[in-house]
């Protein structure tokens, strides 16, 4: 049975697939609070959620039962001498070591947990990186939103920050270096694009089958790296817009990825009032529109960077995405056809699918 954990402007919703193919809300938590990200750690079964009360600030929570009691995680804060406060958490990702989790937040901070999410500490090396003064917040803040562990190798990790580009470590986070060669910041003057750190990555995913391959949705451009994030090639040709936020992949096929283009730059809605997911099966050489079952008239949706996820693999790949309209769409055939899984949720901020 497929489970969707959905973070919204008004709390967390857990949707479970039913035998007839429809979905129903099986749990709700944090009613009225923005839930920026939530996911289930498949190893422990624990559900983790990041909330950002406008009054009380960002918090990270965990539970064994989303309908039951939630515990507040400890240590989710910046160092006392930081001169800044944590604004928001953007992502929570299981790391390669047992019971280890990673979380990214604003302002460009990476947290690490070694006890399945109960307590956290800041990754000091990235926090104190000498280039930090040149990092610039994007429209959503200085958000560390993408964490790409290397399957089977806890030492290697890539993270992405908007707008501070890609950061790579090969020593479990003790040292970090940039991985931005080939990224072009078209939003900057041409003579300011060289060597810039202020690179607005929107989303990044690693292929578990071929870990040196990463896909990226950039702020104007879709990119692929075949050398673990050292260099990037633009693969956005053939898309109606190479602007967008979310991106997901087929874990079984390193050539297969999906994006949801949005009209650049200030509009940020589905182009031409049509909701289309674009698929590549050749690592970005070509793209195909997937639209069967999705709204094709007067549909101006915004899909945020964490609101697109997949579960399963290959022909049994399931895809799900939610929009700020509160609509949630799904596909059980790798995008060939789509259905509406929910239509009246609050604005959807994040979605995590599992089965």
Partner 1 sequence: MALVRVRGQLRQLADGCAEHELEGAIVVELLRQLERDHPAVAGWILDERGQIRRHINVFVNGERGEESTPVGPDDRVDVLPAISGG
For partner 1, the binding residues (CB under 8 A) are: 54-57, 59, 72, 77-80, 82-86
Least distance to partner 1, CB of residue 55, Å = 4
CB 214 within 8 A of CB 158: yes
For residue 157, the minimal CB distance to partner 1 (Å) is: 25
User: Measured from the CB atom, is 55 or 194 closer to partner 1?
Assistant: 55
Shortest CB 109 distance to partner 1, Å? 11
Q: Which is nearer to partner 1, 238 or 347 (CB)?
A: 347
Closest to partner 1 by CB, 78 vs 118, is: 78
Alpha-carbon dihedral sign for residues 231, 235, 241, 245 = negative
For partner 1, give the closer residue by CB, 54 or 195.
54
Min. distance of Cβ 59 from partner 1 in angstroms? 8
Min CB(77)–partner 1 separation in Å: 5
User: Mind giving me the DSSP string for 22-60?
Assistant: -EEEEEEESTTS-EEEEEE-TTT--EEEEEEETTTEEEE
Query: Which residues are CB-neighbours of 39 under 8 A, at least 6 positions away?
Result: 5, 47, 48, 92, 93, 350, 352
Q: Output 72 or 181, the one with its CB closest to partner 1.
A: 72
Contact 232, 217 (CB under 8 A): no
Task: Please identify, using beta-carbon distances, which residue of 52 and 331 lies nearer to partner 1.
Answer: 52
Query: Distance between CA atoms of 108 and 94, rounded to whole angstroms?
Result: 19
What are the residues facing 332 on neighbouring strands?
none
Pairing of β 88-94 and β 177-178: unpaired
First to last CA, the chain: 5
CB of 76 to partner 1, least distance (A): 8
CB of 85 to partner 1, least distance (A): 4
Q: Which is nearer to partner 1, 127 or 187 (CB)?
A: 127
150-153 long-range contacts, CB within 8 A, separation 24+: 150/96, 150/206, 150/211, 150/228, 151/96, 151/208, 151/211, 152/96, 153/96, 153/211
């Amino acid at each position: 049975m497929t489970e969707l954990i959905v973070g919204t402007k008004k709390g967390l919703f857990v949707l479970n697939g039913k035998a007839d193919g429809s979905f129903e809300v099986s749990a709700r938590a944090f009613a009225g609070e923005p839930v920026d990200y939530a996911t289930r750690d498949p190893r422990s079964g624990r559900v983790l959620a990041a909330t950002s009360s406008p009054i009380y600030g960002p918090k990270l929570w965990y539970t064994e039962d989303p309908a039951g009691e939630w515990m507040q995680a400890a240590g989710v804060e910046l160092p006392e001498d930081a001169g800044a406060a944590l604004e928001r958490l953007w992502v929570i990702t299981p790391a390669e070591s047992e019971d280890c989790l990673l979380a990214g937040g604003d302002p460009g901070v990476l947290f690490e947990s070694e006890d399945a999410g109960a307590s956290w500490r800041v990754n000091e090396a990235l926090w104190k990186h000498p280039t930090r003064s040149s990092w610039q917040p994007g429209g959503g803040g200085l958000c560390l939103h993408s964490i790409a562990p290397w399957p089977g190798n806890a030492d290697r990790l890539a993270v992405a920050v908007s707008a501070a580009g890609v950061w790579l470590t090969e020593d479990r986070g003790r040292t970090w270096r940039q991985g931005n060669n080939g990224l072009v910041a078209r939003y900057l003057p041409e003579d300011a694009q060289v060597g810039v750190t202020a690179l607005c990555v929107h989303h990044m995913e690693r292929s578990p089958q071929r870990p040196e391959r990463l896909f990226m949705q950039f702020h104007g451009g879709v990119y692929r790296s075949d050398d673990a994030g050292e260099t990037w090639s633009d693969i956005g040709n053939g898309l109606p817009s190479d602007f967008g936020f979310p991106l997901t992949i087929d874990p079984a096929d390193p050539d297969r990825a999906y994006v949801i283009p949005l009209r650049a730059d200030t509009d940020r809605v589905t182009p031409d009032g049509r909701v289309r997911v674009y698929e590549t099966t050749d690592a970005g050489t070509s793209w195909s529109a997937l639209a069967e079952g999705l709204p094709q008239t007067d549909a101006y949706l915004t899909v945020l960077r964490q609101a697109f996820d997949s579960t399963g693999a290959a022909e049994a790949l399931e895809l799900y995405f939610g929009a700020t309209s509160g609509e949630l769409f799904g596909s059980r055939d790798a995008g060939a056809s789509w259905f509406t899984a929910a239509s009246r949720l609050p604005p959807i901020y994040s979605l995590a699918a599992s089965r």
